[in-house]
């Protein structure tokens, strides 16, 4: 049976991690739409334990990138060429969410951040923007550069801009390898 198609599936299939960007600014309307998609994300206990800090002012963004992609983190220096850098920052959130974390030994805060950030990424892809999730950066330098208080952490970065490359799709597990119905596991 042919796989049914959908708008969402087309966007998910077309999205790539983009590591080369055109030197073209990104319209605020497009970034606002990505932020709206992130805002609508579900989260444990509706805690929404994150903030998105969007750096699109060139001097500010460059200073930030110089601070976070130095030394051992230089593998991600490519991201400094993106016109926009988004810091996804954790917020301690609600007590109920914290309790849920403790009782379930699942880090719902990170689950929530992942969902919201991917909403952002898919909304960017829908608008022709390229993004790359970045987990390899100097988190302490990032918090300092953003002037964050203690206990507030930059969990991931997203580089955003118009793609200057069209990478082929990366290999994925088959559906059979990663999913099964009922006892078919
Ligand atoms: C949480 C997370 C962290 C990532 N960190 C990095 C990173 O530090 N540097 C990088 O170049 N790519 C990073 N990536 C991108 C992955 O390498 C990429 O998603 C994966 O290889 C699949 O390729 P695709 O996104 O083009 O489908 C990260 C992705 C995720 C989801």
Q: Where are the domains of the chain?
A: 17-163
pTM (2 decimals)?
A: 0.95
Question: How many A from CA of 133 to the centre of ligand 1?
Answer: 5
156 forms beta bridges with: 88
d(C-alpha 167, C-alpha 58), whole Å:
26
CATH architecture for residues 17-163: 3-Layer(aba) Sandwich (3.40)
Q: Residue 120 C-alpha to ligand 1 middle, in angstroms?
A: 15
Distance of alpha carbon 82 from alpha carbon 62, whole angstroms: 10
Residues of 82-120 as b/e, b for ≥16 C-beta within 10 angstroms? Answer: bbbbbbbbbbebbeebbebbeeeeeebbeebbbbbbbbb
Can you give the pLDDT at residue 25?
98
| pLDDT for res 102 | 72
Ligand 1 probe mutation, 135, 167, 170, most atoms within 8 A of CB? 135
Kindly give the distance from the C-alpha atom of residue 121 to the centroid of ligand 1, in angstroms, as a whole number: 12
Q: Which atom of ligand 1 is nearest to the CA of 136?
A: 8
The label of the residue with tokens 């976070």 reads 68
Q: What is the pLDDT of residue 1?
A: 62
**pLDDT, one tens digit for every residue, the chain (185 residues):** 677 789 999 999 999 999 999 999 999 999 999 999 999 999 999 999 999 999 999 999 999 999 999 999 999 999 999 999 999 999 875 566 666 667 778 899 999 999 999 999 999 999 999 999 999 999 999 999 999 998 899 999 999 999 999 999 999 999 999 999 999 87
Give the per-residue pLDDT at 66: 98
Residue burial 5-32, b: 16+ Cβ < 10 Å; e: rest: eeeeeebeeebbebbebeeeebeeebbe
Question: Encoding tokens for residue 66?
Answer: 């110089």
- Enumerate residues lining ligand 1, CB below 6 A: 16-17, 76, 132-136, 156, 170
Q: How many helices (H) and strands (E) does the chain have?
A: 7, 4
Residue 22 confidence (pLDDT): 98
- Ligand 1 mean position, distance from CA 183 (Å): 32
Nearest one of 89, 68, 71 to 139, comparing CA atoms: 68
| CA-closest residue to ligand 1 atom 17 | 17
């Amino acid at each position: 049976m042919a796989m049914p198609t959908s708008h969402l599936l087309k966007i998910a299939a077309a999205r790539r991690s983009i590591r080369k960007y055109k030197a073209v600014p990104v319209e605020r309307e497009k970034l606002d739409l990505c932020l709206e998609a992130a805002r609508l994300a579900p989260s444990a206990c509706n805690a929404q334990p994150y903030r998105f800090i969007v750096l699109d002012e060139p001097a500010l963004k460059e200073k930030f990138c110089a601070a976070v992609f130095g030394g051992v983190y230089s593998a991600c220096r490519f991201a400094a060429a993106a016109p926009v850098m988004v810091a996804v920052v954790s917020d301690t959130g609600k007590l109920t969410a914290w309790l849920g974390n403790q009782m379930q030994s699942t880090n719902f805060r990170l689950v929530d951040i992942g969902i919201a950030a991917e909403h952002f990424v898919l909304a960017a892809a829908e608008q022709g923007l390229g993004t790359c999730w970045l987990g390899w950066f100097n988190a302490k330098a990032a918090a300092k550069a953003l002037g964050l208080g203690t206990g507030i952490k930059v969990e991931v970065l997203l580089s955003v801009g118009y793609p200057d490359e069209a990478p082929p799709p990366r290999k994925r597990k088959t559906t059979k390898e990663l999913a099964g119905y009922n006892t078919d596991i």
